[in-house]
């Protein structure tokens, strides 16, 4: 019996996958936008089962996200391996070097390297004169290294969002671009949204240029061109697009397919990693853009994606590789390790140690600081991705608010303008309460309040599709509903805008005031209920 696997292979907000093979090992990296640490690195032996082994950018010196807008920051990376060294090239949008920029879009491309994909990774090599986003590297058989990205055509755009793919040699000694720059291709459909996400592969005497076009929403698509010379000219595949779901309608269960990467196994099979979404409760996808895997064959010198159907399915036949599952991560994090686990992230670059695992062993301590979740700041927030349509998340917290400005608890986050804050605080009369606040389009609305007492609080969020329910238990066992079946669609980019998926995590704030209060989290549990 042929084994199968389920899509997505990495669920939740893990978009723009790039993948490379080193012997019998596969490594994958995805975008992270305004979250820190940046660029998670995954490892697999069978292309189906993946475990995170670290982040490429895990030091503030590597990554300045100060003040970046939601859905700015780190865009699509590419990972490659050459001569015993790993390379990741990436775009930082909205910040450059250590300078806080204004709200205008600013793009800066860089490369980091490592001998071990688990790290440590180098400080960034910032590339001079490298416009655009979605950079990629190609190491040719003659030892030359090439950089490719997208840009506005030098002669100017012929239509809105007109972009082309460009190429230039990379000097590995200086980590800078050198020599002439070449225009390669501007996509298969003229008038379409920008050509982006370029990757070059060499097969059977051809250089293949894989790109995305149509935008990273419903009209997203994967297209391809080829040339006998890496510098071109490139001819498009007459069967383009290789893959798209835009023709399947808004009700299809998998949407937004695009931003792909090809990889050949040690057995000669070809596979494609790509992003896609799973709309639910209407055309909403709170989980963001996720990483999927599909089979590829070759026919008359061109790849065929998902042969026989042309569609990404939730279940495909597995690669011809020995199955290699990893141990499952525990549902409950007891915060007993010396460092936070890889699934935890902060908003923007942390500039001060607002969290601690050592001040009270066995607890995650968060300092209440003036920074608020509604600001473009680095608040006292530690979160992880929502990875399932149906899930349960809960935490046990010790916290006593001293005034009505102080709060701590759980957050369901899309961005600073769209989120839920489920917190313990004081009301105007000084009574301790659990409060659920919905923030939509920058406006806070109190959804519900529930009286509480004491310093110990157990809080839970359950989601069934777009219905989110919030519960409180003073004794850790006797759950009391605070609000049930709250519409969670504000956690989707279709309402909130941007490119990220929903997060859930722990939060503490003094809302503009300076104080010395803390909140201690004994554990956090997240599990699928699907």
Q: What would the DSSP string read from start to end of 51-85? A: EEEEEEE-STTT---TTPPTT-EE---EEEEETTE
Which residues are the active-site residues?
A: 16, 196
The answer to whether position 325 is within a domain reads: no
Structure tokens of 334?
């007891």
Check if the beta carbon of residue 272 is closer than 8 Å to that of residue 248.
Answer: no
Distance CA 304, CA 291 (A): 19
- Token pair, residue 56, equals 């490429």
Higher-scoring residue by pLDDT: 104, 276: 276
Overall average pLDDT of the 136-153 stretch: 97
282 and 339 housed in the same domain? no
Within-domain flag for 323: no
**Cβ-contact 408, 507 below 8 angstroms:** yes
- Same-domain check for residues 267 and 378: no
293 with 379, same domain? no
477 band by pLDDT with thresholds 50, 70 and 90: confident
pLDDT of residue 499: 97
Cα gap 525→530, rounded to integer Å: 16
**Considering the domain boundaries, does residue 324 fall inside one?**
no
Q: Let me know whether 58 and 100 are in one domain.
A: yes
Whether residues 168 and 303 share a domain: the answer is yes
Instruction: Give the SS3 label for residue 248.
Output: helix
CA atoms of 436 and 423, how far apart (whole Å): 7
What is the CATH number for 390? Answer: 2.60.120.200
Per-residue confidence at 191, pLDDT binned at 50, 70, 90?
confident
Give residue 2's pLDDT: 66
Per-residue tokens: 225: 């061109």
Our count of domains for the chain comes to 2
Q: What is the 3-state secondary structure (H, E, C) of 444-490?
A: EEEEEEEECCCCEEEEEEEEECCEEEEEEECCCCCCEEEEEEEECHH
Looking at the fold, whether 299 and 377 belong to one and the same domain comes out as no
**What pLDDT is stored for residue 405 in this prediction?**
96
- Which of 317, 342, 373 finishes a domain? 317
Q: β-strands 456-464, 443-451: how paired?
A: unpaired
Is 394 within the bounds of a domain? Answer: yes
Among 392, 388, 408, 394, which residue's Cα sits nearest to residue 511? 408
Which of 474, 523, 521 lies closest to 331 in space, CA to CA? 523
Residue listed under structure tokens 């941007």? 498
- Measure the CA–CA gap between 205 and 232, rounded to whole angstroms: 13
CB-CB neighbours of 96 under 10 Å: 15
The reported pTM is: 0.96
> Which of 317, 346, 371 is where one domain is finished?
317
Q: Are residues 356 and 309 in the same domain?
A: no
Residue 297 to residue 307: CA distance in whole angstroms: 7
- Alpha carbons within 13 angstroms on the beta-carbon side of residue 229 total 6
Strand partners, 498: none
Residue 487: asked if its preceding bond is cis (omega within 30°), the reply is: no
Residues 308 and 336 in one domain: no
Tokens coding 92:
């930082």
Same structural domain for residues 304 and 361?
no
Q: Domain ends where: 269, 291, 317?
A: 317
Query: Which element (helix H / strand E) includes 356?
Result: strand 355-356
Say if 322 falls within a structural domain: no
pLDDT over 60 (residue 134): yes
Cα–Cα distance for residue pair 253/277, rounded to 1 Å:
8
- pLDDT score, position 489: 98
Alpha-carbon distance of 82 to 86, in angstroms, equals 6
| 148: CATH | 2.115.10.20
* pLDDT for position 98: 37
Of 95, 15, 19, residue with least CA distance to 60? 95
| Gyration radius from the chain CA atoms | 23
336 & 201 share domain:
no
| 323-362 per-position pLDDT tens digit | 999 999 999 999 999 999 999 999 999 999 999 999 999 9
pLDDT tens digits, 75-128:
999 999 999 999 999 999 985 433 444 444 578 999 999 999 999 999 999 999
Mean pLDDT computed over 43-56: 98
Element (H, E) at 494: helix 493-496
CB 353 within 8 A of CB 365: no
Mean pLDDT of the chain: 95
Percent helix, strand and coil across the chain, each to the nearest 5:
0, 50, 50
366 near 506, Cβ under 8 Å? yes
Same domain, 394 and 294: no
DSSP 388: -
Range of the domain at 436: 332-528
| Residue that has been written with the tokens 């105007």 in this structure | 428
Residue 18 has pLDDT above 90, yes or no: yes
pLDDT at 95: 55
Is 326 part of any domain? Answer: no
Decide: 378 and 371 in contact? Cβ < 8 Å.
Answer: yes
- Torsion angle of alpha carbons 447, 451, 456, 460, nearest 10°? -30
For residue 490, is it within any domain?
yes
Residues 210 and 157 in one domain: yes
């Amino acid at each position: 019996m042929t084994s199968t696997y389920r899509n997505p292979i990495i669920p939740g907000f893990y978009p723009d996958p790039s993948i490379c093979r080193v012997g019998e090992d596969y490594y994958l990296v995805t975008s992270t936008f305004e979250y820190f640490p940046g660029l998670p690195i995954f490892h697999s032996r069978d292309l189906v089962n993946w475990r995170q082994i670290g982040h490429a950018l895990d030091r503030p010196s590597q990554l300045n996200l100060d003040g970046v807008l939601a859905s700015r920051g780190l865009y699509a990376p590419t990972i490659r391996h050459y001569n015993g060294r790993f390379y990741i090239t990436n775009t930082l949008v909205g910040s450059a070097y250590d300078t806080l920029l204004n709200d205008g879009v600013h793009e800066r491309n860089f490369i980091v390297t490592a001998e071990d994909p688990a790290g440590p990774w180098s400080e960034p090599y910032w590339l001079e004169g490298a416009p655009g986003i979605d950079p990629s590297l190609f190491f040719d058989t003659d030892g030359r290294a090439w950089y490719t990205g997208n840009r506005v055509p030098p002669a100017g755009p012929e239509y809105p969002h007109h972009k082309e793919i460009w190429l230039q040699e990379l000097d590995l000694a200086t980590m800078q671009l050198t020599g002439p720059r070449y225009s390669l291709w501007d996509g298969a459909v003229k008038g379409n949204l920008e050509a982006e996400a370029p990757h070059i592969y060499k097969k059977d005497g051809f250089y293949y240029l894989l790109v995305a076009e149509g935008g990273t929403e419903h009209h997203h698509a994967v297209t391809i061109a080829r040339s006998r010379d890496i510098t071109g000219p490139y001819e498009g595949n007459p069967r383009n697009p290789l893959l798209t779901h835009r023709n399947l309608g808004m009700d299809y269960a998998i949407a937004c397919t695009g931003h792909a990467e090809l990889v050949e196994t040690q057995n000669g099979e070809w596979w494609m990693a790509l992003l896609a979404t799973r709309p639910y409760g209407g055309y909403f996808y709170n989980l963001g853009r996720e990483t999927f895997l599909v089979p590829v064959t070759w026919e008359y010198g061109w790849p065929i994606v998902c042969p026989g159907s042309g569609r990404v399915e939730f279940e495909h036949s597995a690669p011809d590789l020995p199955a290699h599952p990893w141990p499952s991560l525990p549902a409950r994090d007891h915060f007993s390790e010396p460092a936070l686990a890889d699934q935890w992230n902060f908003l923007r670059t942390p500039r001060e140690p607002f969290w601690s695992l050592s001040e009270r062993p066995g607890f995650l301590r968060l300092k209440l600081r003036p920074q608020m979740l509604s600001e473009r700041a680095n608040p006292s927030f530690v979160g992880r991705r929502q990875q399932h349509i149906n899930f349960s998340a809960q935490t046990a917290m010790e916290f006593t608010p001293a005034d009505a400005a102080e709060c701590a608890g759980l957050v369901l986050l899309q961005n600073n303008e769209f989120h839920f804050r489920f917190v313990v605080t004081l009301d105007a009369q000084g009574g301790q309460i659990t409060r659920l606040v919905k923030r939509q389009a920058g406006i806070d609305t109190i959804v519900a309040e529930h009286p509480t007492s004491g310093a110990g609080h157990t809080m839970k969020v359950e989601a069934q599709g777009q219905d989110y329910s919030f519960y409180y238990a003073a004794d850790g066992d006797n759950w009391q509903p605070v609000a049930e079946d709250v519409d969670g669609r504000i956690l989707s980019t279709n309402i909130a805008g941007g490119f990220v998926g929903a997060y859930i995590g722990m939060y503490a704030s003094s809302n503009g005031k300076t104080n010395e209060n803390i909140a201690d989290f004994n554990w956090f549990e997240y599990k699928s209920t699907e």
